[in-house]
């Protein structure tokens, strides 16, 4: 009888450990998916703005100050999962050179909440004679 009780206790401890490991694995994969989607939304936003010409970047209101992105844009409305909330700020760059008037700093911040608040930031530069002159 003692052997059976000890064996059941060992099996129970093993099963609890297995369930805990699976739970942690699924949680980690979910977090990784959210981080990947946040990175995709940040990159998409930054690369779109980099293609604007200098006049568009400097016009008030052309670049929206806020935006939203969804986890799965192909899913039906209401089933798209997490919503990512972003803000965009552009400021003149101050790098201590004569190029300051032809350079801007763009900061894109992305926030989302899934159990706990998350935050990602991307800071990049926009130049007057940058890539947009070669694309269009």
Which pLDDT score, from 0 to 100, does residue 103 have? Answer: 83
Q: Using the Cα atoms of residue 73, residue 78, residue 84 and residue 85 in order, give the sign of their dihedral.
A: positive
Length in residues, the chain: 136
Which pLDDT score, from 0 to 100, does residue 97 have? Answer: 63
Q: Residue 93 is encoded by which pair of tokens?
A: 């760059």
3-class secondary-structure state, position 83: strand
Which pLDDT score, from 0 to 100, does residue 85 have? Answer: 93
Residue ranges in the chain whose pLDDT is less than 50: none
Which pLDDT score, from 0 to 100, does residue 83 have? Answer: 86
pTM value? Answer: 0.74
Which pLDDT score, from 0 to 100, does residue 100 have? Answer: 66
Question: For the chain, what is the domain count?
Answer: 1
Q: E strands of 1-136, at which residues?
A: 66-70, 83-92, 103-114, 116-127
Which pLDDT score, from 0 to 100, does residue 6 have? Answer: 94
Element (H, E) at 85: strand 83-92
Other CB atoms within 10 Å distance of the CB of residue 78 = 5
Whole domain around residue 16: which residue ranges? Answer: 2-135
Which pLDDT score, from 0 to 100, does residue 134 have? Answer: 62
């Amino acid at each position: 009888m003692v052997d059976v009780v000890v064996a059941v206790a060992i099996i129970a401890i093993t099963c609890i450990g297995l369930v805990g490991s699976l739970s942690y694995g699924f949680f980690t994969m979910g977090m990784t998916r959210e981080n990947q989607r946040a990175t995709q939304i940040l990159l998409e936003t930054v690369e779109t703005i980099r293609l604007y010409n200098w006049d568009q970047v400097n016009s008030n209101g052309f670049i929206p100050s806020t935006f939203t992105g969804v986890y799965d844009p192909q899913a039906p409305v209401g089933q798209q999962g997490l919503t990512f909330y972003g803000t965009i700020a552009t400021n003149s760059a101050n790098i201590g050179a004569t190029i300051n008037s032809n350079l801007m700093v763009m900061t894109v911040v992305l926030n989302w909440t899934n159990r706990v608040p998350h935050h990602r930031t991307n800071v990049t530069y926009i130049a007057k004679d940058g890539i947009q002159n070669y694309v269009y």
